[in-house]
Amino acid sequence: MQMKINNHTYEVLTSQDIAHIEKAIDKSALAMPLVAVYCGSRLGNDGVYEQAARELGRALAKNGLGLVYGGASIGLMGAVADEVIKGGAQAIGVIPTFMLKHEIAHHELTRLHLTDTMHTRKTVMAEYADAFITLPGGLGTLEEIMEIATWRQLYQHEKPMIILNINGFYDCLIEHLKYTAEQGFMKQEDLDRLVICNTISEAIDLLQVIVTIDDEVDTEKMAGSKSKALQN
- The pLDDT tens digits of the residues spanning 71-80 come to 999 999 999 9
Q: In this structure, are residues 206 and 162 in contact, taking their beta carbons and an 8 Å threshold?
A: yes
- Residue 8 banded pLDDT, cuts 50, 70, 90: confident
State pLDDT tens for residues 14-54. Answer: 999 888 888 889 898 899 999 999 999 999 999 999 999 99
pLDDT, residue 100, reads 85
pLDDT over 60 (residue 227): no
pLDDT, residue 210, reads 55
To the question of domain 31-224 being in CATH 3.40.50.80, the answer is no
Closest by Cα among 141, 148, 160, 136 to 35: 160
